[in-house]
Amino acid sequence: MIDIRDLSKRLGENASGICQELYPDGRVESGCYKIGSIDGEKGRSMSVYLHGEQSGRYIDFATGDTGDMLDLIQHALGLSLVDAMDWGKKRFNIRDGAPAKKFSAVKNKTYNIPKLPEQKNSEVLHGYMDSRGFKDVGEVCFRHRIYETDGKGGKDVVFPFYDPKGELVFIKTKPMNYDGNPSTQKNLKPILFGWHVIPDDAREGWLVEGEMDAICCTELGFPALSVPMGGGKGAKQTKWIENEYENLARFERILVATDMDEQGELAAAEIMNRLGDRCHRINLPTKDINDLLMKAPQGQNPYEYARFVLSGAYEEAVWKDPETLKSVTAFESDIDDFFSVTGEDSGFRSGWGKLDEEDIRFRPHEMIGFCGINGHGKSLFLGQMCLNAIQQDQKVLIASMEMPPKSTLGRMMRQAAGSGTPPKPYRQKILEWLAPNLWLFVDKLTPKPKDLMECFEYAYRRYGINVFVIDSLTNMVRQDDYENQQKFVEMLVNFKLSFPVTIFLVTHVRKGESEYSAPNKYDVKGSGSITDLADTFISIFKNKRKIEMLEQAEMLGEEPPEKYVKQWDSYFEVLKNRNGMYEGKVGFEFDTACMQYKERKGSKPKFYINYSKEA
């Protein structure tokens, strides 16, 4: 999704054409387009730069006003900011970007339509707003469309959440005169509160942690939106970011003003990581913005005081040291995490007990290489491991370039069902289970590394996807192109260091004398950087000799040799384990019907969801 900063730059490259189209009475002079003012009359007071870094920027020397091409498009055509952005993209065929089109969810989620509770008189609400420091409370309630209703134990305030198009999407009620928790209706689409009061031309927005904070911030002159589920990390932020990602593209600067407590800091960290370098953290002397009104020093006008504090916090947040310059004290919490997080707390398990008993875990900020001989089950094993990750509430994106989506999903369906031919109702249940946590990257056989990485970053930022499977390296870079292999692997390393994600990279091995010997990390085909830069390296080896001996005995009507009967069908071997202690080999039985890897011989397949025909 192209954000407003990139779009402004792209439109600036077409400044000459836009100016001539919108302001035909102007003229080109000394590398600038000259007009009398933003209204377009003849003259020389206003200059639009046509070349260089300032291309597309303008200054009106008579008024001192400045802006860019989006400002000119808005004024000349009478459009809102969002409509001006759409006009510019369509006029110059500027695409929002490939990532959103190259991967898709397994199934789209549907939501209920909210029902507004019955409105009651506003006596309690007005008193509640007065107690929180607001003035002209009747006008404030009207502007923000909040009202009073009957709650379970008294009176509630109703916060209606409208999307940028003005449609009611979400509702939240909060007790005013009795103890209780905020509540909402079942299966509503979580979005931000406050779009209905964001000015059409706003290019900055504040993100706060409560609806009252959003109302307060906006009333003080800083257009604000509130997260729907409060502070904290994880699903509380992931769900609304997924729904609002495109709408937030209009902001070139996002001021994150969640509460000054642990949950607020967790929310701020997640939001800023997901929305990128447009975000700036606001620090306040009080817990939240509404507290500024309620706790203004005696004798000072609360509104003037709060506005002064927010202006200072804004300046401090925007004008700060470069992101690459860090004091060692900034890493205090990271150091605490290093010493406090155990193997049980970080990342996710493999999903097989015999592996999880060892020091094997897949953590954020790690890249795991998977190698093996062609046809030995690398993709199958990873497919089941993805199911195990989803069972632990991880969000997975699979980029399988050699296999069409129906094959990838068909094989995973068999594994999830524990059956080679699951009936349609069972498949539907599995699809519903997979839908919130599984996406596929769909492109040509050999996508460009840049396109893949753009897609991955988009997927993390918008949907919170944190497990990425690349199958395989051969599809990204030629096997004999060691230089570009190293560059691609370095791209993956930079990605996993920048975001709390886990990457699985499938690689191939050099052809040996036979398929009877398991490969080691020195057999990995390609640049040495592949194994050097990976945190963990794993090989999957199919016991071909056992398979052949059992098939031969069956053809001859003989008992197979006991030596081979006791062996495992496949072996999972840890060749490198930078962040753990275990390196070794673990065997699995393979169920050919449902394609599952089972940790005990003769055991029944695993069923990932409960299903019966009667149900």
- The CA distances from residue 343 to 279, 338, 347, 364, in Å, are 32, 11, 8, 12
Q: Identify the DSSP state of 258.
A: -
Any residues with CB less than 8 A from the CB of 227 and at least 6 apart, and which?
A: 192, 207, 208, 209, 236, 237, 240, 258, 267, 271
What was the pLDDT predicted at 341? Answer: 54
Give the Cα separation of 226 and 207 in Å (integer).
Answer: 6
The residues of the chain scoring below 70 in pLDDT are 1, 97-103, 320-323, 340-345, 613-615
Give the Cα separation of 592 and 570 in Å (integer).
Answer: 12
> Where in the chain do CATH 3.90.580.10 domains reside?
4-96
Give alpha helix (H) positions in 511-594: 529-533, 544-556, 562-565
What was the pLDDT predicted at 489? Answer: 95
> Where in the chain do CATH 3.40.50.300 domains reside?
353-598
Angle between helices 81-91 and 69-77 (to 10 degrees): 100
Which CATH class for the 123-318 domain? alpha beta
Provide the token pair at 600.
């005990």
Give the Cα separation of 216 and 290 in Å (integer).
Answer: 6
Contact 133/302 with Cβ under 8 angstroms? yes
Contact 515/538 with Cβ under 8 angstroms? no
What was the pLDDT predicted at 323? Answer: 67
Query: In 10 A of CB 187, how many CB atoms?
Result: 11
φ, ψ for residue 218 (rounded to 5)?
A: -65, -40
Longest dimension (CA), the chain: 100
Pairing of strands 32-35, 366-371: unpaired
What was the pLDDT predicted at 97? Answer: 57
Angle at 514 between CA 509 and CA 516, to 5 degrees: 90
Q: Which CATH architecture has domain 353-598?
A: 3-Layer(aba) Sandwich (3.40)
**Among candidate residues 443, 429, 493, 436, the one with its CA nearest the CA of residue 471:** 443
Q: Identify the DSSP state of 401.
A: S
Look at the alpha carbons of 71, 76, 77, 78 in this order and tell me if their dihedral is positive or negative.
Answer: positive
Q: Which CATH architecture has domain 4-96?
A: Alpha-Beta Complex (3.90)
Angle at 292 between CA 125 and CA 253, to 5 degrees: 100
Query: In 10 A of CB 405, how many CB atoms?
Result: 14
What is the reported pTM? Answer: 0.78
Give the Cα separation of 257 and 204 in Å (integer).
Answer: 13
**Among candidate residues 561, 565, 609, the one with its CA nearest the CA of residue 587:** 565
Cα torsion 227, 231, 235, 237 to 10°: value is 40
φ, ψ for residue 59 (rounded to 5)?
A: -145, 135
> Where in the chain do CATH 3.40.1360.10 domains reside?
123-318
Query: In 10 A of CB 333, how many CB atoms?
Result: 10
Provide the token pair at 358.
């060892």
What was the pLDDT predicted at 3? Answer: 85
H, E, C per residue of 476-500: CCCCCCHHHHHHHHHHHHHHHHHCC
Contact 154/175 with Cβ under 8 angstroms? yes
